[in-house]
Amino acid sequence: MSTATYTVVGMTCSHCVSAVTEEVGGLPGVTEVAVDLPSGGLTVTSDAPVDEGAVRAAVEEAGYEVAGS
């Protein structure tokens, strides 16, 4: 199992959380997605490490952005 954490910028409601959860949860190997609306925290659990670029792309597809470079 692998776990990675990110901070998502721009989420303001439960719909935002659902959109991010759905997009990131659809990535190959992802077994669990936890999103904390107040902090913007995103925790991704997977069978093997998931490419950070893929996570960023999924968050962007949902309409948000991962903080940092």
How many CB atoms are closer than 10 A to CB 54?
15
Q: How confident is the prediction for the chain on average, in pLDDT?
A: 96
Query: How much of the chain exceeds pLDDT 70, in percent?
Result: 99
**Dihedral of CA 59/20/54/1: which sign?**
positive
- Sketch the domain layout of the chain as residue ranges: 2-66
Torsion of CA 53, 56, 61, 66, to 10 degrees: -160
Residue 24 has pLDDT above 70, yes or no: yes
Question: Which fold would CATH assign to domain 2-66?
Answer: Alpha-Beta Plaits (3.30.70)
Q: For position 69, what pLDDT does the model report?
A: 52
The pTM is what? 0.94
Choice among 39-43, 47-51, 54-58 with the minimum mean pLDDT: 47-51
Q: For position 68, what pLDDT does the model report?
A: 79
